[in-house]
Amino acid sequence: MQANTNNASVTDQGFMAQAMHLAVQAADIGEVPVGALVVCNGQVIGQGYNQTISAHDPCAHAEIMALRQAAQAIGNYRLSGCDLYVTLEPCTMCVGAIIHARIKRLIYAATEPKAGAVASQLQLFSKPHYNHTVQVESGVMADESSAMLSNFFKQRRLAHKVNQAKKDAVVNSTSIIDQSKDAVI
């Protein structure tokens, strides 16, 4: 089901670059940097980026946000003939939404080894019981997307270590003060 994307079209690269800009917006607000675009007849009709934390919505993945906006734009939940560009391999929830929306073609950048539901783990599009087939292309700007994700999580881990060190320092200084009080008594 996976297409060879070593020769991705200029159009696909251009739309994926736009999705990458959306992913940066997600990172800027502390969300996992994933961006998505719905394109129909060469026009962007929906876009989104991860907002699960900021929107307090477990379904606010980039793909879902883009599909919702596109459906509103055309006044129909069926997005037949449209393409979805996303910077990370979709999860199970998003694959279901892609099928229900009748997306014609999914183009994604990086694989998601832990929870990817297209190629990495479940390969849901290859299941015979679905009444819709989605064309899949992967690897368009994969290196750039992977680097953005890796950097985001590296920064998040570093921030966690700094915060933990600060907490440890407060606990240690409180402990030292308590010990000196005990020594005085």
Q: Which residues are catalytic?
A: 63
Query: How many CB atoms sit inside 10 A of residue 155's CB?
Result: 11
Quick check: 17 and 141 in contact, CB under 8 A?
yes
* Type of residue found at 20: M
Instruction: Give kind and range of the element (H or E) at residue 165.
Output: helix 142-184
Residue 139 zone, left/alpha/beta (φ > 0; ψ -120 to 50; rest):
left
Burial (CB count within 10 angstroms: exposed 0-12, middle 13-18, buried 19+), residue 118: buried
The shares of helix, strand and coil residues in the chain, as percent rounded to the nearest 5, are 50, 15, 35
